[in-house]
Structure 1
Amino acid sequence: MDIDAGQRLRAIREMYGLSQRSLAKKAGVTNGIISMIEQNRNSPSLATLKKILDAIPISFSDFFTIDFDEKNQIVYRAEELLEIGSSGFSFRQVGRDLKEKAMQILHERIAPGADSGSEMLRHESEEGGVVLRGILELTVGGEVYTLGAGDAYYFDSRIPHRFRNLGEETVEMVSSCSPPTL
């Protein structure tokens, strides 16, 4: 694997919003050293590279493994959310591919009278959410809770649970599951 350390240092420095001068000052090296490394006119010793990376701060491992070619989407427009719901439940997921993701974020809508089912849900994760509008009935274990706009929940999803819209208007909420439930 051929790694361009100068290009990599420049990309990481810019990602952290540092100028060459500010990085040099934080690392205790000259501005010229940073410039020469970024132009691949100087190959730093491990000790010098460690000083520079400690000033960012970033580990050796991250410095050499961050994938700059992979464009990670940061903003998702409403029309880009992936619909994965059914039966009175609209789950609009942020992002299409959850492989190697630590959490799943959903914009949920639950139609009046809709229920996640008489059989309780269970999965290997934690979940939480905030009700934006409507009246939600949440059952976790043997406890039943009624939540309205502004109320929130957070629980271990291995505990049997279910959701139900008690009101006459659509329940709208934003929720998250970690790790994602695929």
Structure 2
Amino acid sequence: MRDVDIGARLKAFREAQDLSQRQLAHVAGVTGSMISMIEQNRTSPSVATLKKILSGLKISLGAFFEETPPDGMKWHFTRAELGEINPEIKRGAPPEAAKAISFLQVGGAGTSALQMLYEHYPPGADTGPELYSHEAEEAGIVIDGQIEITVGSETRLLNTGDAYLFNSRLAHRFRNPGNTPCIIVSACTPPTF
């Protein structure tokens, strides 16, 4: 897995849209100093914070980390096609050590109307204290373990074999309250995560 310079990439996307750090901070609902610190690689954003910032750029997390696929590449069949999109893990921290959630994406974010993820939540891992939202619908099946999902003001505990489907425009978060890892296979359409 190659290292990604999150700060440089964020700056490039921001400048491509001709936005100042202050303008991006305003539309994303974060501070200008947060944008500056991320761009200088002086802080590492959580998944929820990075999604919030990227929503101001109208870019999905998957598209932000997407490597340019070879021309004409459309179909994805092998495990080698799964790409990590969590910034904490892309920096090389093993999921168990950082309690980081692994989001392995099938194919590239910009190549399909559907985004499919293989998600790994270590015990105690969560998507952060803030609920987040994005312009899509998402669904998933708990393959192993348990996950607590909050959507709006409602919270449910799902176990192996349980499934979910909700409008991602509603603020939500995921948390593994168990003592074992949780594995989820999920899909999002359009691919805005």
Shorter-chain-normalised TM-score: which range? 0.5 to 0.7
Task: Give, in whole Å, the separation in 2 of the partners of 1:104 and 1:181.
Answer: 8
Shift of 1:176: 0.5
Relative to its length, the structure with more helix (as a share) is 2
Instruction: Name the counterpart of 1:93.
Output: 105
Task: Map 1:30-69 onto structure 2 (within 5 A).
Answer: none
Larger radius of gyration: 1
Asked if structure 1 preserves the Cα contact closer than 8 Å seen for 2:74 and 2:111, the reply is no
Q: Which runs of 5+ in 2 are unaligned?
A: 1-70, 89-98
Instruction: Specify the SS of the correspondent of 1:99.
Output: helix
Q: Map Cα deviations across residues 42-77 of structure 1 (whole Å, 9 max, x no partner).
A: xxxxxxxxxxxxxxxxxxxxxxxxxxx9353241x2
Task: Give, in whole Å, the separation in 1 of the partners of 2:110 and 2:81.
Answer: 18
Shift of 1:124: 0.4
Tell me the amino acid that sits aligned with residue 108 of structure 1: E
Shift of 1:82: 0.2
Asked if structure 1 preserves the Cα contact closer than 8 Å seen for 2:115 and 2:188, the reply is yes
Q: Which runs of 5+ in 1 are unaligned?
A: 1-68
Instruction: Name the counterpart of 1:115.
Output: 126
Corresponding position: 1:163 with 2:174: yes
Shift of 1:181: 1.6
Shift of 1:173: 0.8
Identity %: 46
> What is the alpha-carbon root mean square deviation over aligned residues?
1.6
Instruction: Name the counterpart of 1:179.
Output: 190
Tell me the amino acid that sits aligned with residue 165 of structure 2: Y
Q: Closer, same or farther in 2 for the Cα pair 1:116/1:71, shift >3 Å?
A: closer
From 143, 147, 150, the counterpart of 1:139: 150
Instruction: Name the counterpart of 1:72.
Output: 74
Displacement over 4 Å in runs of 4+: none
Instruction: Specify the SS of the correspondent of 1:139.
Output: strand
Task: Give, in whole Å, the separation in 2 of the partners of 1:119 and 1:104.
Answer: 23
TM-score by length of 2: 0.55
Task: Give, in whole Å, the separation in 2 of the partners of 1:101 and 1:80.
Answer: 14
Instruction: Name the counterpart of 1:48.
Output: none
From 116, 137, 158, the counterpart of 1:105: 116
Q: Map Cα deviations across residues 79-131 of structure 1 (whole Å, 9 max, x no partner).
A: 32101123510000000x22252110000000100111111011000000000
State the aligned residue count.
112
Instruction: Name the counterpart of 2:83.
Output: 82
Corresponding position: 1:148 with 2:159: yes
Task: Give, in whole Å, the separation in 2 of the partners of 1:124 and 1:90.
Answer: 21
Task: Give, in whole Å, the separation in 2 of the partners of 1:117 and 1:98.
Answer: 23
TM-score by length of 1: 0.58
